[in-house]
Protein backbone atom coordinates (compact mmCIF):
# COMPACT_ATOMS: atom_id res chain seq x y z
CA UNK A 1 0.00 0.00 0.00
CA UNK A 2 1.38 3.44 -1.00
CA UNK A 3 1.49 6.14 1.73
CA UNK A 4 -1.06 8.89 1.12
CA UNK A 5 0.38 12.25 -0.01
CA UNK A 6 3.80 10.93 -0.94
CA UNK A 7 4.59 10.70 -4.61
CA UNK A 8 6.65 7.69 -5.57
CA UNK A 9 9.44 8.45 -8.03
CA UNK A 10 9.10 6.95 -11.44
CA UNK A 11 11.98 5.47 -13.42
CA UNK A 12 12.76 8.74 -15.22
CA UNK A 13 13.00 10.67 -11.96
CA UNK A 14 15.32 8.07 -10.49
CA UNK A 15 17.54 8.33 -13.54
CA UNK A 16 17.74 12.09 -13.26
CA UNK A 17 18.62 11.99 -9.57
CA UNK A 18 21.24 9.32 -10.07
CA UNK A 19 22.96 11.40 -12.72
CA UNK A 20 23.36 14.34 -10.29
CA UNK A 21 24.93 12.37 -7.44
CA UNK A 22 28.41 11.06 -6.85
CA UNK A 23 28.97 7.88 -4.87
CA UNK A 24 32.29 7.16 -3.18
CA UNK A 25 33.02 3.81 -1.52
CA UNK A 26 31.85 3.90 2.09
CA UNK A 27 30.21 7.35 1.70
CA UNK A 28 26.63 8.57 1.44
CA UNK A 29 25.22 10.20 -1.65
CA UNK A 30 25.30 13.97 -1.81
CA UNK A 31 23.74 16.48 -4.17
CA UNK A 32 25.45 19.61 -2.81
CA UNK A 33 28.34 20.21 -5.17
CA UNK A 34 30.22 23.48 -5.08
CA UNK A 35 31.10 25.31 -8.24
CA UNK A 36 34.76 24.39 -7.82
CA UNK A 37 33.95 20.71 -7.43
CA UNK A 38 31.71 20.75 -10.47
CA UNK A 39 34.38 22.35 -12.65
CA UNK A 40 36.95 19.84 -11.44
CA UNK A 41 34.87 16.72 -12.23
CA UNK A 42 33.09 17.94 -15.35
CA UNK A 43 34.35 17.23 -18.83
CA UNK A 44 36.13 20.14 -20.53
CA UNK A 45 33.94 19.56 -23.60
CA UNK A 46 30.79 19.84 -21.53
CA UNK A 47 31.99 23.07 -19.92
CA UNK A 48 32.78 24.69 -23.24
CA UNK A 49 34.03 28.22 -22.63
CA UNK A 50 33.84 28.08 -18.83
CA UNK A 51 37.14 29.04 -17.20
CA UNK A 52 39.54 26.44 -15.84
CA UNK A 53 39.17 25.30 -12.22
CA UNK A 54 42.14 27.39 -11.08
CA UNK A 55 40.29 30.54 -12.09
CA UNK A 56 37.68 29.76 -9.44
CA UNK A 57 39.60 27.84 -6.79
CA UNK A 58 43.14 29.28 -6.71
CA UNK A 59 43.70 31.75 -3.83
CA UNK A 60 44.76 35.25 -4.75
CA UNK A 61 48.53 35.73 -4.66
CA UNK A 62 49.77 38.32 -2.14
CA UNK A 63 51.21 41.54 -3.51
CA UNK A 64 54.29 41.34 -1.30
CA UNK A 65 56.59 38.60 0.05
CA UNK A 66 56.35 37.27 3.56
CA UNK A 67 57.93 39.98 5.70
CA UNK A 68 59.20 37.91 8.65
CA UNK A 69 60.55 34.35 8.87
CA UNK A 70 58.16 31.63 9.95
CA UNK A 71 60.80 29.35 11.52
CA UNK A 72 64.33 29.30 12.90
CA UNK A 73 67.21 29.27 10.43
CA UNK A 74 70.92 29.96 10.08
CA UNK A 75 71.99 31.28 6.67
CA UNK A 76 75.49 32.01 5.39
CA UNK A 77 75.74 34.79 2.81
CA UNK A 78 78.40 36.20 0.53
CA UNK A 79 78.11 39.94 0.05
CA UNK A 80 79.82 41.83 -2.78
CA UNK A 81 79.56 45.56 -1.99
CA UNK A 82 79.52 48.09 -4.81
CA UNK A 83 81.08 51.53 -4.32
CA UNK A 84 78.48 54.32 -4.20
CA UNK A 85 78.52 56.14 -7.52
CA UNK A 86 78.51 59.62 -5.96
CA UNK A 87 81.58 58.87 -3.82
CA UNK A 88 83.40 57.37 -6.80
CA UNK A 89 82.64 60.43 -8.94
CA UNK A 90 83.84 62.70 -6.14
CA UNK A 91 87.10 60.75 -5.98
CA UNK A 92 86.58 59.82 -2.34
CA UNK A 93 86.83 56.07 -2.92
CA UNK A 94 88.28 53.99 -5.77
CA UNK A 95 86.00 52.67 -8.49
CA UNK A 96 87.31 49.10 -8.26
CA UNK A 97 85.31 46.29 -6.67
CA UNK A 98 85.40 45.96 -2.90
CA UNK A 99 86.33 42.63 -1.31
CA UNK A 100 83.61 40.06 -0.72
CA UNK A 101 82.40 39.55 2.82
CA UNK A 102 81.09 36.49 4.61
CA UNK A 103 78.05 37.15 6.78
CA UNK A 104 76.16 34.60 8.87
CA UNK A 105 72.61 35.42 9.97
CA UNK A 106 70.63 33.68 12.71
CA UNK A 107 66.85 34.07 12.54
CA UNK A 108 64.27 33.37 15.23
CA UNK A 109 61.08 31.70 14.09
CA UNK A 110 58.85 34.51 15.35
CA UNK A 111 60.68 37.05 13.19
CA UNK A 112 61.43 39.35 16.12
CA UNK A 113 65.07 38.44 16.72
CA UNK A 114 68.00 38.54 14.33
CA UNK A 115 71.75 38.11 14.82
CA UNK A 116 74.18 39.16 12.07
CA UNK A 117 77.69 37.75 12.48
CA UNK A 118 80.46 39.46 10.51
CA UNK A 119 82.98 36.73 9.78
CA UNK A 120 86.73 37.29 9.59
CA UNK A 121 87.11 35.28 6.40
CA UNK A 122 85.13 33.44 3.76
CA UNK A 123 85.93 30.17 5.54
CA UNK A 124 85.83 29.25 9.20
CA UNK A 125 83.57 30.26 12.07
CA UNK A 126 85.55 33.13 13.60
CA UNK A 127 83.69 36.45 13.68
CA UNK A 128 84.96 39.94 14.38
CA UNK A 129 81.62 41.03 15.77
CA UNK A 130 77.85 40.80 15.65
CA UNK A 131 74.72 42.91 15.58
CA UNK A 132 71.69 41.55 17.44
CA UNK A 133 68.37 43.15 16.54
CA UNK A 134 65.34 42.82 18.81
CA UNK A 135 62.55 44.43 16.85
CA UNK A 136 59.87 43.95 19.51
CA UNK A 137 61.99 45.69 22.17
CA UNK A 138 63.42 48.21 19.66
CA UNK A 139 66.86 47.27 20.89
CA UNK A 140 70.17 46.73 19.09
CA UNK A 141 73.25 45.08 20.59
CA UNK A 142 76.67 45.75 19.03
CA UNK A 143 79.24 43.08 19.93
CA UNK A 144 83.01 43.18 19.31
CA UNK A 145 84.50 39.73 19.75
CA UNK A 146 88.18 40.76 19.73
CA UNK A 147 87.63 43.19 22.60
CA UNK A 148 84.93 41.09 24.33
CA UNK A 149 82.68 44.11 24.76
CA UNK A 150 79.18 45.06 23.66
CA UNK A 151 77.05 48.18 23.47
CA UNK A 152 73.29 48.25 24.01
CA UNK A 153 71.22 50.74 22.02
CA UNK A 154 67.61 51.11 23.12
CA UNK A 155 64.55 52.80 21.64
CA UNK A 156 65.79 52.27 18.12
CA UNK A 157 62.75 53.26 16.09
CA UNK A 158 64.22 51.76 12.91
CA UNK A 159 65.68 48.37 13.79
CA UNK A 160 65.89 47.00 10.26
CA UNK A 161 68.27 45.07 8.07
CA UNK A 162 68.50 43.88 4.46
CA UNK A 163 67.62 40.40 5.69
CA UNK A 164 64.12 41.50 6.72
CA UNK A 165 61.53 43.29 4.60
CA UNK A 166 58.82 45.71 5.71
CA UNK A 167 55.76 47.49 4.42
CA UNK A 168 57.61 50.77 3.89
CA UNK A 169 58.81 49.18 0.64
CA UNK A 170 56.94 48.74 -2.62
CA UNK A 171 57.01 45.28 -4.21
CA UNK A 172 56.24 43.82 -7.62
CA UNK A 173 56.32 40.11 -8.39
CA UNK A 174 58.77 39.27 -11.21
CA UNK A 175 59.01 35.48 -11.38
CA UNK A 176 60.44 32.36 -9.78
CA UNK A 177 64.00 31.18 -9.20
CA UNK A 178 66.13 28.84 -7.09
CA UNK A 179 69.07 29.61 -4.82
CA UNK A 180 71.10 26.78 -3.23
CA UNK A 181 68.31 24.42 -4.23
CA UNK A 182 65.59 26.43 -2.45
CA UNK A 183 62.70 27.85 -4.50
CA UNK A 184 62.09 31.56 -4.09
CA UNK A 185 60.04 34.34 -5.67
CA UNK A 186 61.80 37.27 -7.33
CA UNK A 187 60.46 40.67 -6.27
CA UNK A 188 61.44 44.13 -7.38
CA UNK A 189 61.85 46.33 -4.31
CA UNK A 190 61.51 50.11 -4.10
CA UNK A 191 62.42 51.97 -0.91
CA UNK A 192 63.42 55.49 0.05
CA UNK A 193 67.06 54.41 -0.27
CA UNK A 194 66.74 53.21 -3.87
CA UNK A 195 65.73 50.22 -5.96
CA UNK A 196 66.74 46.59 -6.01
CA UNK A 197 65.48 43.04 -6.30
CA UNK A 198 65.16 40.18 -3.83
CA UNK A 199 64.47 36.46 -4.10
CA UNK A 200 62.38 35.48 -1.07
CA UNK A 201 61.21 32.03 0.03
CA UNK A 202 57.61 31.33 0.99
CA UNK A 203 58.70 31.11 4.64
CA UNK A 204 60.20 34.61 4.57
CA UNK A 205 63.96 34.25 3.97
CA UNK A 206 65.87 36.50 1.57
CA UNK A 207 68.18 34.19 -0.40
CA UNK A 208 69.47 36.70 -2.94
CA UNK A 209 69.38 40.48 -3.18
CA UNK A 210 70.80 42.93 -5.68
CA UNK A 211 70.83 46.71 -5.73
CA UNK A 212 70.30 49.13 -2.86
CA UNK A 213 69.08 47.67 0.43
CA UNK A 214 66.91 49.29 3.08
CA UNK A 215 69.95 50.97 4.67
CA UNK A 216 71.25 52.40 1.41
CA UNK A 217 74.10 49.93 0.95
CA UNK A 218 74.59 48.93 -2.68
CA UNK A 219 75.76 45.46 -3.67
CA UNK A 220 74.91 41.83 -4.30
CA UNK A 221 73.96 39.41 -1.54
CA UNK A 222 73.56 35.65 -2.04
CA UNK A 223 73.01 32.74 0.33
CA UNK A 224 75.58 29.95 0.21
CA UNK A 225 74.22 27.64 2.93
CA UNK A 226 71.02 27.32 4.95
CA UNK A 227 70.16 25.26 8.02
CA UNK A 228 66.70 24.97 9.57
CA UNK A 229 67.94 23.67 12.93
CA UNK A 230 66.52 25.30 16.05
CA UNK A 231 68.42 28.39 17.17
CA UNK A 232 68.86 28.62 20.98
CA UNK A 233 67.68 31.74 22.80
CA UNK A 234 71.24 32.33 24.02
CA UNK A 235 72.27 33.16 20.44
CA UNK A 236 70.39 36.45 20.78
CA UNK A 237 72.07 37.47 24.04
CA UNK A 238 75.51 38.96 24.78
CA UNK A 239 78.12 36.21 25.18
CA UNK A 240 79.04 35.25 28.73
CA UNK A 241 82.07 37.14 30.03
CA UNK A 242 81.66 40.13 27.70
CA UNK A 243 81.67 43.60 29.26
CA UNK A 244 78.92 46.08 28.53
CA UNK A 245 80.08 49.54 27.44
CA UNK A 246 77.73 52.48 27.86
CA UNK A 247 78.25 55.15 25.18
CA UNK A 248 78.64 58.75 26.31
CA UNK A 249 78.41 61.49 23.73
CA UNK A 250 79.78 65.03 24.29
CA UNK A 251 76.25 66.24 23.55
CA UNK A 252 74.68 63.96 26.12
CA UNK A 253 73.24 61.51 23.66
CA UNK A 254 73.25 57.87 24.70
CA UNK A 255 73.35 56.58 21.15
CA UNK A 256 76.45 56.45 18.96
CA UNK A 257 76.11 57.04 15.27
CA UNK A 258 73.61 54.76 13.53
CA UNK A 259 73.55 54.58 9.78
CA UNK A 260 74.13 52.55 6.65
CA UNK A 261 76.90 50.01 6.56
CA UNK A 262 80.13 51.64 5.50
CA UNK A 263 83.30 50.51 3.82
CA UNK A 264 85.99 48.86 5.93
CA UNK A 265 87.73 51.25 8.29
CA UNK A 266 89.89 48.69 9.98
CA UNK A 267 89.34 46.94 13.26
CA UNK A 268 91.24 49.16 15.63
CA UNK A 269 90.52 49.31 19.34
CA UNK A 270 88.35 52.42 19.13
CA UNK A 271 85.95 54.00 16.72
CA UNK A 272 85.65 50.70 14.85
CA UNK A 273 82.96 50.06 12.30
CA UNK A 274 81.83 46.48 12.02
CA UNK A 275 81.97 45.85 8.27
CA UNK A 276 79.32 43.93 6.45
CA UNK A 277 75.70 44.24 5.53
CA UNK A 278 72.94 45.91 7.45
CA UNK A 279 72.77 48.23 10.43
CA UNK A 280 76.29 48.89 11.66
CA UNK A 281 77.16 51.11 14.53
CA UNK A 282 80.30 53.01 15.36
CA UNK A 283 81.39 51.52 18.64
CA UNK A 284 82.26 54.30 21.12
CA UNK A 285 85.95 54.86 21.78
CA UNK A 286 87.48 54.27 25.17
CA UNK A 287 87.59 58.02 25.82
CA UNK A 288 83.89 58.40 25.16
CA UNK A 289 82.65 55.27 26.90
CA UNK A 290 82.96 53.38 30.13
CA UNK A 291 81.77 50.06 31.52
CA UNK A 292 78.07 49.99 32.30
CA UNK A 293 78.67 48.91 35.89
CA UNK A 294 80.50 52.20 36.56
CA UNK A 295 77.20 54.06 36.10
CA UNK A 296 75.55 52.05 38.82
CA UNK A 297 78.16 53.07 41.38
CA UNK A 298 77.75 56.81 40.84
pLDDT digits (tens, 9 = 90+) for 207-251: 999 987 666 678 899 999 999 999 999 999 999 999 999 876 443
∠ CA 164-165-170 to the nearest 5 degrees?
A: 165
Distance (Å, rounded) from C-alpha 160 to C-alpha 279? 7
Please state the pTM of the whole predicted model. 0.65
Indicate left, alpha or beta for 70 from its phi (over 0: left) and psi (-120 to 50: alpha).
alpha
- In angstroms, what CA-CA distances link 43 with 19, 40, 48? 14, 8, 9
Please say if the pLDDT value at position 275 is more than 70: no
Contacts with 92 (C-beta within 8 Å, 6 or more apart), sequence order: none
Say whether 164 sits in a helix, a strand or coil. coil
Extents of the domains making up the chain: 73-164+219-292
Please say if the pLDDT value at position 88 is more than 60: yes
* Longest CA–CA separation in the chain, Å: 108
Contacts with 49 (C-beta within 8 Å, 6 or more apart), sequence order: none
**What pLDDT digit, counting tens, does each position of 101-144 carry?**
999 999 998 778 999 999 998 888 889 999 999 988 889 999 99
Q: What is residue 165's predicted lDDT score, i.e. its pLDDT?
A: 78
Give me the chain's average pLDDT, please: 71
Query: Which candidate, 77, 78, 82, places its Cα nearest to that of 219?
Result: 82
Amino acid sequence: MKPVGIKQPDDKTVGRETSMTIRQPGQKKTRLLTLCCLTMVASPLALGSIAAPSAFCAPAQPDHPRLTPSRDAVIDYVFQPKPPADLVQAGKIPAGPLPERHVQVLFSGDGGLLRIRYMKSMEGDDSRGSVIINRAAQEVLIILDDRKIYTRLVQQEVARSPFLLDMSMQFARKGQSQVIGQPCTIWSVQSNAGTGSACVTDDGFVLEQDGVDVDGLNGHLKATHISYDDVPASAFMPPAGYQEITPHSPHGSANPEMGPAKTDQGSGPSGSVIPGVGPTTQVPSAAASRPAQDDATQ
